[in-house]
Structure 1
C-alpha cells in the first residue's frame, strides 16, 4: 500500500511540473539572470520590453444620491459588457482552436510551412549526422540553406565563438573555408542547433518572450540528451539536438499555426460582425490581441506529443528510427525499465530540462527536488553534472 501511494505521489508531482512548465512558457515569468538567455550562438538579443499597465484607480469622494445611481448604472453596464465579452472570447477561442487543429492535421503543410524543413535541409541533417561527409558535399548543401550558411560564416568571424574553439576569428566569405575552420565534429552539434533555433524564432512577433523560452528549453533538452549520451558511451551523442527538436515539433508547429489562425479567425469575426451591423462585437474583435490562456490551452492539447511523433515518423523513420522509437516510448508511456537506451536518455533529459527552466525562474520548490529526481531516475552525480554544465548555452567542446 505504501509503495502504491508513493508511486502515485511521484506521478502527481511529475504531472504538476509539466503543467507548471507550460504555464511558464506562455506566462510573463522571466529568468532572473538575463545572461541566462545568451545561448552562445549569436550576439545578445534585446529583451522584450514589458510596460506595466497603468493602475486603474478611482478617486474616492462623497457622492450625491443622483451620482450614486449613475455609478450603479455604469457598473451594471460594465458587468453586462464583461459578460458579453467573456461569451465572445469563449466562442472565439473554441473556433480558433478548431481551426488550428484542422490545419495541424495536414502534416505535409506543417513540415513545409510551420517547421520550414525543406528537402535540402533534411538532406543536410542526414548527411551530417549519419555519415562522414566531405567538406565539398556539406558546402553544396549549405549553399541551399542560406540562413544557416550565413550564420556559420558570421560565427567564424566572432572572436567569442572562435575563442571557445581555441582558434582565432577569421573574416571569410567561402562556406567551405568556414567548415574547415570550425571542423566536422563541432558542426555536428552546431548546424542542427542553428537550424532549429531559427525554426522557432522566425516570425515570433506576437510573443518574443515565448520563443526565447521555448528555444532555451530546446537547447537545454538537446544538450541534456547529449550529456547523458556521453555519460552512457552512446556512439553518436551529436544526435541529441535532433532528438530535442523532434520532441518540440508539436509546440513549434502549434505556436506558428496559432499566429496564422489567430489573424484569420479574427478577421472572419470582424467581417461577420460588420455584415450584421454588430458594432460592439466589431469593436471587441478589432481590439482583440493574442492571449496566454488560448496558447496554453493549445500547448496542453499537444503535451502528449502525438503530433511530434507523427511528424518525426514522416521525416526521420528511415534514417533515425532509434530516435523516433525513443519519442514513441514517451508518447506511449512505456515503463522506464522497458525503454530502449535512447528512450531512457530522453526520459531523463525531458525531466531535467523542465526542472532547469523552472529553477531559473524560482518556480521549482527545493522540497520537490529529491522526489522529482528519484521519479526521473536521475542520480545525484548525474544531476550535479547536468547542472554544472549550464546546458542552456551552446557547448563547443564535448570531450
Structure 2
C-alpha cells in the first residue's frame, strides 16, 4: 500500500494532515500564512523534525510567491536591503515554534544564507525572491531521497552486525520510539525508514514500538503507518521495554533525533533515554537515524541542547475516538479529549524530549553513512557522516 503523507502540495497551496486527529480521522488543513504554519508546528498538528522544517520552508516560499503576484508590489521588494530586513524576522519567528528540533533552524539558516549570497551577487529583489522560493522547495524535496539513503545504510549495517555475531541477518526484530516515518518527514522516514527497508528486503521479523506517552505518537501514528504498510508489528506501553528485552529477542533499537550534538549526545522524544539505558543493560545495539541537518556541530554535547517543555495539561489528557465507536453526521468516528488525572494538579513535569548520552549509542546514521565510536571512546567523531 502507498505510504502516508504529512504535507500535500499543489502549486502554492499547502495542506497538512492534522496529526492530532489521527488515526481515526484524516483531515487535511490548508496552511495559508506564516502564522498558521507556526501554530501548526507549535500545536503539533504537524510534528517530526524533518516535516516541520519542510513546512516552515514551504510556507515561507509560498508567502514570497504571493508577494511577487501582489499589486501594488509590497514595499519589501523595493530593494535587496528592504527584502532582507523584512524576511529575516519571519525566519526567526518560525524557529520559535519548536526550539529543540535543529532541522527547523537548519532550514531557516539555509534560506538566510541563500538570501545573503544573492544580495552579495548583486541580484535585484525579484530575482532574489525567485531563488528563495526555489530553495524553499529544495528543503522539502531533498528529504525523501536522503531518508531512503540513511535507511539503507542503517539496515545493511544492522544485518552485517547480526551476521558478524553468528546470526543469519534475517527475521530481525527492531524496537522504535515515537513516530519517525512518512508522517514525521517528507516521505519514507528515518528510524521507521530503517524498519521499512528491512521489511522491503525480507530481513524484518517484527517491528515493536512504544506508545510514547503523553502524546502517543507511537500508538496513534506509528501504529497507523505500520498497518498501512502491512509491516508485522507489536505495540508496547512505554513501561514494558524492560520486560520486552527480558523475554523476546530484540536485535536493535532504532530511533530518530531532533538534535545530535558534536559528541553524539542525542535529543529525541521523551522515553528514548529510558530505552537506551535498558538496551545497554541487555547489550542490544542502539541506533540513531537522522539526516545531516539534525547534527548540530555548534553544540559540543547534550548539555547545550535546549529542551522544550510542553504545557502541563498535555500530560493530563488523552485524545481518541469514543468506544464503542460512534459516527458523526459525516460518517467519521466521534472523538473526545478526556482528563486522566485529578483536576488542578500543581506540579507536572512534562519535557517533550530527553537526551541520550553518546556512550549509550551504538551507531549514528545519516544519508552519508554510519558512524561508530572508536574502541575505548565514549563519544563519536561525526566528521565522516556530516
When normalised by structure 2's length, the TM-score is 0.27
More strand by share: 2
When normalised by structure 1's length, the TM-score is 0.27
More helix by share: 1
> Which of structures 1 and 2 has the bigger CA Rg?
1
The one of the two structures with greater contact order (alpha-carbon pairs below 8 A, sep at least 6) is 1
